[in-house]
Chains A and B, each alone.
Chain A
């Protein structure tokens, strides 16, 4: 069965711009979570959606937002990009909670 698909794989943006990343979960998975990975910082939780509702949010500024559609696909948006937003953004889907994660390959965002 198809895995978690994240698009695009690579992205270069300029400071001050905004960006939208996309995640298509495994078919049947209703939970989608987003994590940011920066060098030396591990994976930091951004937010989680289940059936189009945000159930949990990490400690990131309001510039980071997300949404989930009725088909469980999810997008995350970062507005007013800063250099420090350069990171690998990972999406994970699961049937319901955090213990059955399948991760996508990520979107590598570079802000210049």
Chain B
């Protein structure tokens, strides 16, 4: 049972435009959500996070939105840059058991110059 779903395996956008990556979850116990970026031959690197008490968190060009009623979160990248091309993973955890994260399968973002 996949508790964190990223339904788009890939996304292609033009440089300068907005990239929107989506993630859905099924477990109501999740109360903390993170996005990681992964380049080939490297480990994932933390990008941005949001707790369930908020519905938006911003960090520079990156904004994460959380819709708890829909069990949906999204990552917006504005403006997109070619260096943003990578695989993006959505992850979720619960405060009651913060010893692990549940990851989605990832979305490959390609930003074309």
Chain A residues engaging chain B, CB cutoff 8 angstroms: 4, 31, 33, 35, 40-45, 48, 50, 55-56, 58, 90, 92, 97-99, 101-106
| Chain B: number of interface residues, binned into ranges | 20 to 34
Whether the pair A42, B93 counts as a contact (CB closer than 8 A) is: no
Chain A, Cβ-Cβ closest to B102: A45
A98 contacts B98, C-beta separation under 8 Å = yes
- List 17 additional contacts besides A31-B99, A101-B46, A101-B101; criterion CB under 8 Å: A4-B43, A33-B99, A33-B100, A40-B105, A41-B105, A42-B103, A43-B103, A50-B99, A55-B99, A58-B100, A92-B43, A99-B32, A99-B34, A99-B49, A99-B98, A103-B44, A105-B41
How many whole Å from B60's CB to the nearest CB in chain A? Answer: 20
A-B contact count (CB 8 A): 59
Name B residues whose Cβ lies closer than 8 Å to a Cβ of A: 4, 6, 9, 32, 34, 36, 41-46, 49, 89, 91, 93, 97-106
> What DSSP secondary structure best describes chain B's contact surface?
strand
- Whether the pair A90, B99 counts as a contact (CB closer than 8 A) is no
Q: How far is the CB of B96 from chain A (nearest CB, A)?
A: 11
Task: Tell me whether A98 and B89 are in contact in the complex, defined as CB-CB below 8 angstroms, given that A43-B44, A105-B42, A106-B43 are known contacts.
Answer: no
Chain A positions within 8 Å of B97 at CB level: 56
Show 22 residue pairs from A and B whose CB-CB distance is below 8 angstroms, ordered by the A residue. A4-B43, A33-B99, A40-B9, A41-B105, A42-B4, A42-B89, A43-B89, A43-B91, A43-B101, A43-B103, A45-B102, A90-B44, A97-B98, A98-B98, A98-B99, A99-B49, A101-B101, A102-B46, A103-B36, A103-B43, A105-B41, A105-B42
